[in-house]
Amino acid sequence: MQRISELHVNGSKLRIDADADRSLLSVLRDDLDLTGSKYGCGEGQCGACTVLIDGQATRSCVTKLGATAGKKVITIEGIEKNGRLHPLQEAFLEADALQCGYCTPGMIMSSVALLSKTPTPSDQEIVRSMEGNVCRCGTYPRIVTAIRKAAQSMKGGGR
Amino acid sequence: MKNGHIDDSIEIERYELFAEPTYHFNLELERRDFFKLLGGGLVLVFTLDALAQESGRQDGEAGRRGQGSSGPKEIGGWLHIAEDGSITAYTGKVEFGQNIRTSLSQVVAEELRVPIGSIRLTMGDTDLTPFDMGTFGSRTTPTMAPQLRKAAAAAREALIDLAAEQWKVDRAALVVNDGKVTNERAKQSIDFGKLTKGQKLLKVISDNTPTTPPDQWKITGKSVTKVDGRSFVTGKHRYTSDTKLPEMMFGRVVRPSAFNASVVSVDSSEAEAMPGVKVVRDGGFIGVAAPSAQAAARAASAIKAEWKTEPQPSGKELYDYLRKQAAESPRANVTGSLADGLNQATKKIEQTYTVSYIAHAPLETRAAVAEWNKGKLTVWVGTQRPFGVRGELAEAFRIPEDRIRVIVPDTGSGYGGKHTGDVAIEAARLAQAAGRPVKLLWTREEEFTWAYHRPGGVIDVSSGVRDDGTITAWEFHNYNSGSAGIQHRYDFPNQKIVFHQSKSPLRQGSYRGLAATANHFAREVHIDELAHTVKIDPLEFRLKNLKDERMKAVLNAAAKTFGWGKGKSTKNTGYGIAAGFEKGGYVAACAEVSVDRTTGKIQLVRVVEAFECGAVLNPDQLKNQIEGSIVMGIGGALFEAIDFDNGKILNPRFSRYRVPRFSDVPVIEAVLVDRKDLPSAGAGETPIVGLAPAVGNAIFDATGIRLRSLPMAPNGLKA
């Protein structure tokens, strides 16, 4: 079994020692204690485990560690800069776009990817691109509001 | 079932609490080790067994039954003010996304006259918080909020007394604000912490303690955002599934091949040979603990178990089965004379409505971390009944409850699905055998299969109506889904209402709103059918059969905001209305749906829901709960159903069990009817009950097709 000894996460190269065929999610959570990314289904259907790999929203539960070689992973723990929340994190708080909060990190990471590609998405574009993320508490309308707000506040090159 | 009775005044249908314990352990080896750890000796063993029996008879069963003391009488049991002035309130309730950590903090902050940020709430920890039956039945707002309000108000008064005594002044000269008691005339003030010096406030909370009247509320009644929201949006909050202990191992349970299967033979030699793996077999329980989650999964799949299964009913025959298995001579609730009522009627209708089993599917699957330390068991677990689960652990391991601590970190939702202690017991059994802490996180497939489901059910309704729109007869029989919401607020002079308990082929239990969803669906769709029969507008028809002013108020409020009667239905667009009452809350929903005649796709366009639950504690969080109930309700209304056959769940994953997603969501408007003159009722459940019938009635309005089964259109509308 091929072993992987390094993972580029949130701007740092971290030493690890893990089988290449393990899921990225399990390495983040169990080996690196980055527990913000959540297990929800294990089949890429709920989005709770979403991270960015080279800027792409990716389901880390169905991504093999081996597939991350030479790539940069960003998790929910990596988007706060110098103690300042990402505009999307701020917007989720302001819109109270969460209840139990378990889906929130995945929702935010999917939104980060969306806004980096489409800085001012229409509601339809938001719905289409977020369709793979499940919130069982049903805060979808608030999440749409939060993404709209963040898009507004990021205008003018906030990030 | 043992002592299978729950206080009727609290809840009448909590199937999962009547169930037999899932596991009967032998515990032989570990039990010896356990006593060795305690120092051993015959006398000690005798004492502990006696204690265990005692505890089983009292606390343990009280926990399962959901009974217990009403909690500490003195302030200190609920509230602590440390020397540095930090304020901690204690409650056995748990946070699952209802945002009660916020609403309860508001109440405490209000009475202590401090900013909400100064309050810390310790929740759901059996060693630290007062006994609590569980977080269900929408009881937090009507019972816990007033309790903490009273405790905080009593603390405020006690602080004034302490300052008055210290300064030798009349207490009437003193005011409380911003964490201080102040004598304005003498320009003197003192911090709370300096007054209490961190000591427990032993003063008894009197029922006469003056609490702040609603018209003077400054913090309650206002929209406050989630108090610790930042830890959630940053991913820092530690759910049970994120908990990590030193030396912790990972568990995995080997599940039977079907429900009610018994083990015939087990070959675990391959798993036992794996490095660091501990295999546990005890009665019907087979599980492993391993150094990593992957190793645990590998070890579990290496165990070859043979199971004996029995033939079991399938989803296809469910409704016949439930009728056939119904208990004899159920209790009927009768008013007037049905025969008279039917004689007075000009039109009569008989219809049957059905409801599928559905899954809660909380996004955080069941999780527990268990640790044994010197004979004391600590379990972190996402459960809605920390004290009940402590009782279940005591029963399973035959140890007294005072040797068990259950801690509930704020959890990734439950919706009534996390009442039982299965995962806690499994993790504890593995940890006991491994001699190290064990984390057990159920897979999504386990969650769909081995948790319990919202009951399926059949409802027969027959009724009579006069041409002027008066409902003269109402007969309602519910098989299996439950009795919550079976009573109503309409004025039916002649009626018979019966709940028939039945035998469920699947493990079933509580779900947000319990059977109120099923009963409201049948009732409100049937009433719509009656309205169409006598050609009266469905809103007008309801108002005609209602005297209850609160019910009328929500109906009118929803209709007004929705613009009821203004939209013109077409063959692709329809409007529906429904109303209800449950757990102290009144709800009315109006829905607009559109139907694509070629694809059969049903899309909710707009939902307006008016809700009244007395005085509103936090308007925006209340709206959040209403919106969430509507969204969750869409699943059960249109497409969610557990498919099963012969003791197996056939769709135990999100790829085969469709839950509501972004594109399913309509424009939602929640209309709050705030009644400051009435006590606050809970709001986490009742807003779900109006959605399904409103949608069904709207589909009929558009298409003329009457859908009487939940889910109504799992594969779209087949015209």
Q: Which pLDDT tens digit goes with each residue over B167-184?
A: 999 999 999 999 999 999
Query: Beta-carbon neighbour count of residue A83 at 10 Å?
Result: 5
The β-bridge relationship of strands B285-290 and B249-253 is antiparallel
Q: What is the dihedral of CA B48, B49, B53, B54, to 10 degrees?
A: -30
Confidence of residue B12 (pLDDT cuts 50, 70, 90): low
ipTM: 0.98
pLDDT of residue B164: 96
> What is the per-residue pLDDT for B17?
79
Among B662, B664, B688, B691, the strongest candidate for a mutation testing the A interface, having the largest count of A CBs within 10 A, is B662
Residue type, B9: S
At residue B316, what are phi and psi to the nearest 5 degrees?
Answer: -65, -35
Q: Which two tokens stand for residue B204?
A: 């008894």
Mean pLDDT along residues B378-382: 98
**Average pLDDT, whole number, for chain B?**
92
Q: Which helix (H) or strand (E) holds B119?
A: strand B119-123
> Least CB-CB distance to B441: which of A39, A138, A142?
A39
Helix or strand run (H / E) with residue A17:
strand A12-19
Q: Is B237 on the interface with A (CB under 8 A)?
A: yes
Q: What is the pLDDT of residue B568?
A: 87
* Dihedral angle, C-alpha B234, B240, B245, B249, nearest 10 °: -120
- What are the structure tokens assigned to B537, written together? 């507008």
Determine how many CB atoms are found less than 10 A away from the CB of residue B204: 11
- Average pLDDT value for residue range B542-557: 98
- What percent of chain B clears pLDDT 90, i.e. is strictly above it? 88
From residue B622, alpha-carbon distances to B92, B142, B144, B452, B681 in Å are 22, 14, 17, 28, 11
pLDDT at B400 over 90: yes
Residue A70: HSE in the Cβ half-sphere, 13 Å Cα cutoff: 0
Please give the Cα distance from B295 to A26 (Å, whole number): 12
Chain A residues whose beta carbon lies within 8 Å of the beta carbon of residue B624: 96, 99, 139, 142
CA of A76 vs chain B CAs: smallest distance (Å) = 6
CB B691 within 8 A of CB B633: yes
Phi, psi (rounded to 5 degrees) for B655? -75, -15
Q: Is B656 on the interface with A (CB under 8 A)?
A: no
Residues B710, B518 contacting (CB under 8 angstroms)? yes
Q: Which domains does chain A have, with CATH numbers?
A: 3-78 (3.10.20.30), 87-154 (1.10.150.120)
Chain A residues touching B293 at Cβ < 8 A: 26, 30
The band of B29, judged by pLDDT with boundaries at 50, 70 and 90, is low
User: Residue B14 above 90 pLDDT?
Assistant: no
Encoded tokens for A74: 């960003």
DSSP B51: H
DSSP B245-268: -TT-EEEEE---SSTT-EEEEEE-
Amino acid letter at B483?
A: S
In B666-684, which positions are buried (b, 16+ CB within 10 angstroms) versus exposed (e)?
A: bebbbbbbbbeeeebbbbb
Per-residue pLDDT of chain A (159 residues; tens, 9 = 90+): 799 999 999 999 999 999 999 999 999 999 999 999 999 999 999 999 999 999 999 999 999 999 999 999 999 999 999 999 999 999 999 999 999 999 999 999 999 999 999 999 999 999 999 999 999 999 999 999 999 999 999 985 555
pLDDT of the residue at A37:
98
Give the C-alpha separation, B542 to B525, whole Å.
12
pLDDT number for residue B21: 85
Distances (CA, A) of B464 to A53, B350, B485, B545, B661: 64, 9, 21, 13, 40
pLDDT interval class at B351 (50, 70, 90): very high
CA distance A99 to B628: 9
Q: Are B241 and B412 in contact (CB under 8 A)?
A: yes
| Sequence-separated (6 or more) residues with CB below 8 Å from residue B105 | B89, B116, B119, B121, B227
pLDDT surpasses 70 at B54: no
Domain B317-358+453-710 fold is Aldehyde Oxidoreductase; domain 4 (3.30.365)
Range in A152-156, B92-96, B220-224, B294-298 with the lowest mean pLDDT: A152-156
What would the pLDDT profile of B60-116 be if each residue is shown by its tens digit? 333 333 334 568 999 999 999 999 999 999 999 999 999 999 999 999 999 999 999
Structure confidence at residue B316 (pLDDT): 94
Nearest to A134 among B235, B620, B654 (CB): B654
- pLDDT by residue (tens digit) across B568-600? 889 899 999 999 999 999 999 999 999 999 999
> Is residue B545 within 8 Å of B472, Cβ to Cβ?
no
User: How much is the pLDDT for B20?
Assistant: 83
pLDDT for A157 equals 55
DSSP B434-469: HTS-EEEE--HHHHHHHS-BBPPEEEEEEEEE-TTS
Contact yes or no for A41 and B654 at CB 8 A: yes
For the segment B55-59, the average pLDDT, to the nearest whole number, is 36
Selecting from 3.40.50.620, 1.10.3720.10, 3.30.365.10, 3.10.20.30, what CATH number does the domain B75-213 have?
Answer: 3.30.365.10
Strands B667-672 and B602-612: parallel
Whether the predicted pLDDT of B48 surpasses 60: no
Interface of B with A in 603-642 (CB under 8 A): 620-621, 624-625, 627-632
The angle that helices A123-130 and A140-154 make with each other, rounded to 10 degrees, is 120
Please determine, for residue B356, whether its predicted confidence score (pLDDT) is greater than 70: yes
- B317-358+453-710: same fold as B75-213? yes
In this complex, is the C-beta atom of B236 within 8 Å of any C-beta atom belonging to chain A?
A: yes
Count interface pairs A-B at CB distance under 8 A.
170
Helix (H) or strand (E) holding B576: strand B573-582
CB contact under 8 A, A136 and B361: yes
pLDDT at B13 over 70: no
Average pLDDT over residues B2-28: 65
**pLDDT, average across residues B372-401:** 97
Q: Quick check: A134 and B226 CB within 8 A? A: no
* pLDDT (0 to 100) of residue A9: 98
Tell me how far apart the alpha carbons of residues A58 and B279 are, in angstroms, rounded to a whole number: 35
* Nearest chain B CA: its distance from A3 CA (Å): 15
Residues in chain B closer than 8 A to A35 (CB atoms): 235, 238-239, 241-242, 244
pLDDT (mean) for B469-491? 97
| Whether B422 contacts B449, CB under 8 Å | no
**Rama region for B276: left / alpha / beta (φ>0; ψ in -120 to 50; rest):** left
Instruction: Tell me if B436 sits within 8 A of B289, measured CB to CB.
Output: yes
**Cβ proximity of A133 and A110 under 8 Å:** yes
Rounded CA separation A105/B151 (Å):
36
A89 and A97 Cβ atoms separated by less than 8 Å:
no
pLDDT at B51 over 50: no
B303 and B288 Cβ atoms separated by less than 8 Å = yes
Cα B22 to Cα B82: distance, rounded to the nearest angstrom = 43
| Mutation site, B135, B223, B232, B656, interface A, largest A CB count within 10 A | B232
Q: What topology does CATH give the domain B240-309+360-450?
A: Aldehyde Oxidoreductase; domain 4 (3.30.365)
CA-nearest of B614, B592, B597 to B669 is B592
Contact B444 A41 (CB under 8 A): yes
* CA gap B303, B290 in Å, rounded: 14
Q: How much of chain B exceeds pLDDT 70, in percent?
A: 92
Both tokens of B650, joined, read: 């056939």
Find the DSSP H helices in B289-337. Answer: 293-302, 318-324
Amino acid B11: pLDDT = 53
Cβ contact (<8 Å) for B628 and A138? yes
Q: How far is B525 from chain A (nearest CA, A)?
A: 24
Q: How far apart are CA B226 and CA B232, in angstroms?
A: 10
| Residue-level pLDDT at B18 | 77
d(CA A65, CA A50): 14
Residue B308's nearest CA partner among B713, B647, B677 is B647
Distance from CA of B246 to the nearest CA of A (A): 12
Confidence class for position B28, pLDDT limits 50, 70, 90 = low
Compare all CA atoms of chain A with the CA of B95 and give the residue at the minimum distance.
Answer: A100
**Closest C-alpha among B278, B283, B285 to residue B256:** B285
Q: What is the pLDDT of residue B207?
A: 87
What value does the mean pLDDT take over residues B612-635?
97
Domain ranges across chain B: 75-213, 240-309+360-450, 317-358+453-710
Query: Is the pLDDT score of B49 beyond 90?
Result: no
Put residue B310 in one of left, alpha, beta given phi > 0 → left and psi -120 to 50 → alpha: beta
Distance of CA B544 to the CA centre of its chain: 34
What integer is the mean pLDDT of B149-167? 96
